[in-house]
Amino acid sequence: MKTGRPCKQRAYPFGARLHAAREALGFSQAEVAASLGVNQASYGAWERHPVALRPDQVRKLADVLKVSVEYLFDEDEKAQRTGGPIGKARRIFEDLRKIPRSQQTHILTVVEGFVKQYANRQAVKTS
| pLDDT tens profile 20-73 | 899 988 999 999 999 999 999 999 999 998 888 999 999 999 999 999 888 888
- Backbone dihedral region of 19: left (phi > 0), alpha (psi from -120 to 50 degrees) or beta? alpha
Distances (CA, A) of 76 to 13, 44, 71, 80, 105: 11, 24, 9, 7, 35
- 3: helix, strand or coil: coil
| pLDDT tens profile 87-114 | 677 778 778 888 888 888 899 899 899 8
pTM exceeds 0.85, yes or no: no
What is the second-level CATH architecture of the domain 13-79?
Orthogonal Bundle (1.10)
